[in-house]
Amino acid sequence: MLKFIIENNENYQPGLSIDCVIFGFHDNQLKVLLIKVPHSEKWSLPGGFIPIDQDIDTAAVTVLNERTGVEGIFLRQFAAFGKIKRNDDHFGKEVLKYLNIDPEKGKWLTRRFVTIGYYALVDFLKIVPNRINSNEIIEWIDHKEVPELILDHKEILNKALDTLRIELNLMPIGYNLLPEKFSMPELQKLYETILDKKLDRRNFMRKITNIGILTKLDEKKNNVAHKAPNLYSFDKEKYDEVLKNGLNQGW
């Protein structure tokens, strides 16, 4: 794929790229989707170059799909990264030789690229990545156990995580990340996992209840060791309304 882009680089926006941070939540774990190419010992975020005939938001969807096969998720643009020497020596002579790219044509890769970051929070059981390139590895990795990443991808990942935590105060989350029926401790654990801190149980319940997006069900959770907690569901209409209008609270 990269060789094809180099040989047809007139079809791509020079000096501009996209990197996607895809967070997956399941079983109280926050994971990130990473790729490892055979010519590098380091991992990377799914990223690529921008077709000259596509809007940037459309290109982000294209890039993610071409690298991972993932589609049908909403990507949010969150920051641009453009340090002067961010991609110096990333495509050295040995890499170009491995990829069978002519060094003269490879100069297109060695110029300074500003990358635009996009992120999404998904249920990774519903998002199944596919290896488009059989030589690449694609894996969900716990966000606290991320191995060494290429370029400034760790900085991009950290910025995306900070953005997610900030936006947690501005909009509700949980719909499509939790079962249709869930307990208050399960919802609280979702927030704690993303925020990476413990929350006071009573304070959390008061705040989340005041938002008005939950419906308390006449059911309790089964198969628990202690007192069975009440079950809740999201009021989709109210959830969408709050999502549209935003919140103003802190966790």
Q: How crowded is residue 44: how many other Cβ atoms within 10 Å of its Cβ?
A: 18
Res 205: pLDDT = 94
The whole-number average pLDDT for the span 201-216 is 94
- Pairing type for strands 47-51 and 76-81 reads unpaired
The whole-number average pLDDT for the span 200-224 is 90
Res 92: pLDDT = 66
**The pTM of the whole model exceeds 0.75:** yes
Res 125: pLDDT = 82
Kindly report the CATH number that applies to the domain delimited by 182-245. Answer: 1.10.10.10
Share of the chain above pLDDT 70, in %: 91
Query: Using the 8-state DSSP alphabet, how is residue 27 labeled?
Result: T
Q: How crowded is residue 186: how many other Cβ atoms within 10 Å of its Cβ?
A: 17
Buried b (16+ CB within 10 A) or exposed e, 213-243: bbeeeeeebeeeeeeeeebbbbeeeebeebe
Query: pLDDT, tens digit, for every residue of 66-120?
Result: 999 898 899 999 999 999 888 766 766 676 676 677 777 777 777 888 999 999 9
Superfamily of domain 2-167 in the CATH hierarchy: Nucleoside Triphosphate Pyrophosphohydrolase (3.90.79.10)
Q: Examine the pLDDT at 5 and tell me if it is beyond 80.
A: no
**Nearest by Cα to 121 from 66, 191, 184, 53:** 191
Give the end-to-end CA distance of the chain in Å, rounded to a whole number: 43
The SS3 of residue 120 is strand
**Nearest by Cα to 164 from 194, 199, 190:** 194
Average pLDDT, the chain: 88
Res 239: pLDDT = 93
Q: What are the sequence ranges of the domains in the chain?
A: 2-167, 182-245
Res 224: pLDDT = 65
Greater pLDDT, 204 or 127: 204
What distance in Å separates the CA atoms of residue 74 and residue 180, rounded to the nearest whole number?
21
Contacts of 237 (CB under 8 A, 6+ apart): none
